[in-house]
């Protein structure tokens, strides 16, 4: 069976072809794969596609990359390799589409005074958008949220469609800054008194905190979000597809609401 499924992006197909060539001995262990430029010419694809294919090989343990050296073949098979990875962000779009946001405050906040860790100079002022999220038919909020945007992209918080489109997507559309990675931290929390009042729950009641850090393809953290959800109003589900032997691994994540809290537009 192929390492990668038949219906897949082009970089999957390239990674599949290269992995099979490694298994056949075309590229023996210890040798270097062709350069990115050579692979671009061989497959007729862009450098970015080739880089993504090589990244998959590295994730599977078949190869390693060293700056100034190239991509070295490390092993012929992945029989001992286990990979877990987040692949999709479409569920963030779904969450935004199925809920509405009531904005409470838009202001500039020094990094040192934010409620989540922000990188860089502690005096750097980030644009902060605070609000509440509701489902279509629910009066009680399902989440209190804060969005921190790097100052050079702060203008997107004034966009007319800011509450219907994810902020990271607005930044890409307006400034051309594309998210290359999203880091996420999930934790059980005791809801602070000021947030509990807004969520209409008892102070120190149990909640779920989700913090996301959006990192550009250039390695810059340009947005950080935090949401706090009452435990009985929100359900987070994550599916992990695990890989052993000749199978690749991908993580598909989705955000869901309890059945009783879904709006009329919720997708089944």
Q: Parallel, antiparallel, or unpaired: how do β-strands 206-216 and 179-190 relate?
A: antiparallel
- 103 — pLDDT class (breaks 50, 70, 90): very high
Answer with the residue of higher pLDDT: 23 or 240: 23
Please indicate, yes or no, whether residues 137 and 34 belong to a single structural domain of this protein: no
Tell whether the model's pLDDT for residue 95 goes beyond 90. Answer: no
Q: What is the CATH number of the domain that holds 66?
A: 1.10.10.10
Please indicate, yes or no, whether residues 26 and 148 belong to a single structural domain of this protein: no
Q: What is the CATH number of the domain that holds 102?
A: 3.40.1410.10
Q: Is this structure's pTM higher than 0.75?
A: no
Per residue in 154-167, pLDDT (tens digit) is: 999 999 888 888 99
Residue 267 lies in a domain: no
Please indicate, yes or no, whether residues 199 and 122 belong to a single structural domain of this protein: yes
d(CA 60, CA 80): 9
Residue 139 has what pLDDT? Answer: 77
Average pLDDT of span 199-206: 89
Answer with the residue of higher pLDDT: 58 or 18: 18
Please indicate, yes or no, whether residues 127 and 225 belong to a single structural domain of this protein: yes
d(CA 77, CA 61): 8
Residue 84 lies in a domain: no
Tell whether the model's pLDDT for residue 213 goes beyond 80. Answer: yes
Residue 238 has what pLDDT? Answer: 59
Residue 181 lies in a domain: yes
Last residue of a domain, one of 20, 45, 73: 73
Q: What is the mean pLDDT of the chain?
A: 80
d(CA 191, CA 202): 8
Tell whether the model's pLDDT for residue 39 goes beyond 90. Answer: yes
Number of domains in the chain: 2
Please indicate, yes or no, whether residues 143 and 209 belong to a single structural domain of this protein: yes
d(CA 268, CA 259): 10
Residue 231 has what pLDDT? Answer: 79
d(CA 57, CA 75): 10
Tell whether the model's pLDDT for residue 170 goes beyond 90. Answer: yes
Residue 82 has what pLDDT? Answer: 27
Q: Which residue has the tokens 């051309």?
A: 176
Give the CA dihedral 166, 229, 125, 158, nearest 10 degrees: 40
For the beta sheet containing 179-190, the strands, ordered from the edge strand earlier in sequence to the opposite edge, are: 99-110, 125-135, 143-149, 221-230, 206-216, 179-190
With pLDDT > 90 as the criterion, what percentage of the chain qualifies?
46
Give the CA dihedral 12, 18, 20, 23, nearest 10 degrees: -140
Per residue in 45-64, pLDDT (tens digit) is: 999 999 988 988 887 778 88
With pLDDT > 70 as the criterion, what percentage of the chain qualifies?
76
Residue 115 lies in a domain: yes
Answer with the residue of higher pLDDT: 84 or 268: 268
Domain range for residue 144? 90-261
d(CA 142, CA 163): 15
Please indicate, yes or no, whether residues 61 and 96 belong to a single structural domain of this protein: no
Residue 222 lies in a domain: yes
């Amino acid at each position: 069976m192929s390492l990668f499924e038949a219906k897949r992006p082009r970089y999957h197909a390239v990674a599949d072809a290269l992995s099979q060539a490694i298994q056949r001995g075309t590229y023996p262990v210890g040798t270097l794969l062709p350069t990115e430029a050579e692979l671009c010419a061989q497959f007729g694809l862009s450098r970015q596609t080739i880089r993504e294919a090589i990244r998959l090989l590295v994730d599977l343990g078949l190869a390693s990359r060293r700056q100034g050296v190239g991509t070295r073949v490390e092993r012929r098979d992945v029989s001992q390799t286990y990979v877990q990875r987040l692949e999709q962000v479409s569920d963030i779009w779904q969450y935004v589409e199925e809920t509405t946001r009531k904005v409470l405050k838009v202001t500039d906040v020094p990094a040192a005074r934010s409620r989540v860790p922000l990188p860089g100079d502690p005096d750097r002022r980030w644009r902060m958008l605070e609000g509440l999220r509701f489902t279509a038919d629910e009066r009680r909020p399902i989440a209190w949220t804060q969005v921190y945007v790097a100052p050079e992209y702060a203008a997107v918080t004034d966009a007319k469609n800011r509450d219907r489109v994810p902020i990271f997507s607005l930044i890409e559309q307006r400034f051309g800054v594309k998210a290359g990675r999203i880091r996420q931290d999930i934790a059980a929390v005791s809801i602070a008194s000021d947030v509990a009042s807004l969520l209409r729950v008892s102070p120190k009641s149990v909640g779920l905190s989700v913090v996301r850090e959006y990192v550009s393809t250039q390695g810059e953290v340009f947005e950080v979000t935090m949401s706090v959800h009452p435990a009985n109003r929100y359900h987070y589900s994550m599916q992990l597809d695990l890989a052993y032997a000749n199978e690749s691994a991908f993580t598909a994540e989705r955000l869901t609401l309890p059945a009783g809290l879904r709006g009329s537009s919720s997708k089944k």
